[in-house]
């Protein structure tokens, strides 16, 4: 199982540690690979250095000087998360070409689109009983770092391994009538997701998330689930298909 968490499931150190404990518990049941973001940590480090940044269509415009800060911030966070998950190895996409990428759009600077995943490295680590914890920094053809949205990076890893993925966020799943949690869809097909975006009941930050889920399916993942990182036992329940919204082809 691939588990992705980012800013929303890291709003406090307490929540971050609770999520790490959930991941460690899931690992007792099945092999786990973790992919993480950390938008708020990046934001804080950019601000502290007076490096401005803006988002276009959900992606951070990343000139080279911002890329240096993104990599530094996510690498430091990666080591802390790896330690919290335990029995883990923290990596970025630059280690053993774990995530290779190409420039998505020169207008966005050093933002990457994942072109390859070193699945053999991940299988070796998992086979040795270790949990890979991957920061969403990839390596470009020029050998330099590229910034990849963490949901997208996680989807690419799930696709390459042919495993399911759970995106942990701050809502219980995809709601048909946001923000009413009673309207959570337990299951959605690709066609229903596309219809939901067109109809407007899938909106805001949920759009790039469901798009990352569809991209994961395109790349070979059997399912992609969106679930809450805020509740005890939710991750295990989502892995069983009993929590969150599971999206399948």
Ligand X SMILES: Nc1ncnc2c1ncn2[C@@H]1O[C@H](COP(=O)(O)OP(=O)(O)O)[C@@H](O)[C@H]1O
Ligand Y SMILES: CC(=O)N[C@@H](CCC(=O)OP(=O)(O)O)C(=O)O
- In contact, 134 and 95? CB cutoff 8 Å: no
Cα radius of gyration rounded to whole Å, the chain: 17
> Which three-class secondary structure state does DSSP give residue 32?
coil
Does 7 qualify as catalytic in the annotation? yes
Q: Which of residues 28-67 bind ligand Y (CB under 6 A)?
A: 37-39, 42, 59-60
The verdict on whether 105 is a catalytic residue reads: no
The correct pick among 1, 2, 3, 6 for binding ligand X (CB under 6 A) is: 6
CB nearer to ligand X: give 139 or 212.
212
Q: Which does 209 bind (CB under 5 to 8 A by kind): ligand Y, ligand X, none?
A: ligand X
The site partner of 60 among ligand Y, ligand X, none (C-beta below 5 to 8 Å per kind) is ligand Y
SS3 240: coil
Neighbours of 17 (CB within 10 A): 14
Q: Does the active-site annotation cover 39?
A: yes
Beta bridge partners of 34: 3, 133
Handedness of CA 145, 146, 149, 154 (dihedral sign): negative
> CB-wise, 80 or 176, nearer to ligand Y?
80
Q: In what order do the strands lie in the sheet with 33-36?
A: 88-92, 131-135, 33-36, 2-5, 165-169, 224-228, 245-248, 187-189
Binding-site string for ligand X from residue 124 to residue 143, where x marks contact by CB under 6 A and - marks none: --------------------
Stretch that binds ligand Y, among 15-23, 90-98, 144-152, 196-204 (CB under 6 A): 144-152
Q: Is 4 a catalytic residue?
A: yes
Q: Is there a catalytic annotation at residue 162? A: no
171 binds ligand X (CB under 6 A): yes
Give the per-residue contact string, 99-118, with ligand Y (x = CB under 6 A; - = no): ------------x-------
Distance, C-alpha 100 to centroid of its chain:
16
Is 49 annotated to bind a ligand? Reply is no
Residues designated as active site = 4, 7, 39, 151, 209
């Amino acid at each position: 199982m691939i588990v992705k968490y980012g800013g929303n499931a890291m709003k406090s150190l307490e929540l971050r540690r609770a999520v790490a404990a959930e991941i460690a518990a899931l690992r007792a049941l099945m092999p786990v690979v973790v992919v993480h973001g950390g938008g708020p940590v990046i934001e804080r480090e950019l601000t502290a250095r007076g490096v401005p940044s803006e988002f276009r269509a959900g992606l951070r415009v990343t000139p080279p000087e911002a890329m240096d800060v993104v990599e530094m911030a996510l690498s430091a966070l990666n080591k802390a998360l790896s330690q919290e998950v335990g029995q883990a190895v923290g990596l970025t996409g630059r280690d053993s070409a774990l995530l290779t990428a190409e420039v998505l759009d020169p207008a966005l600077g050093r933002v990457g689109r994942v072109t390859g995943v070193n699945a053999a490295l991940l299988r070796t680590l998992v086979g040795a009983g270790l949990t890979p914890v991957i920061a969403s920094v990839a390596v470009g053809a020029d050998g330099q770092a590229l910034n990849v949205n963490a949901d997208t990076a996680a989807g690419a890893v799930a696709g390459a391994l042919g495993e399911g993925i759970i995106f942990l966020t701050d809502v219980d799943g995809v709601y048909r009538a946001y923000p009413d949690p009673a309207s959570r869809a337990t299951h959605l097909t690709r066609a229903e997701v596309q219809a939901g975006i067109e109809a407007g009941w899938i909106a805001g930050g949920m759009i790039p998330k469901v798009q990352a889920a569809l991209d994961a399916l395109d790349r070979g993942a059997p399912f992609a689930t969106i679930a809450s990182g805020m509740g005890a036992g939710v991750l295990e329940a989502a892995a069983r298909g009993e929590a969150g919204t599971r999206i399948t082809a």
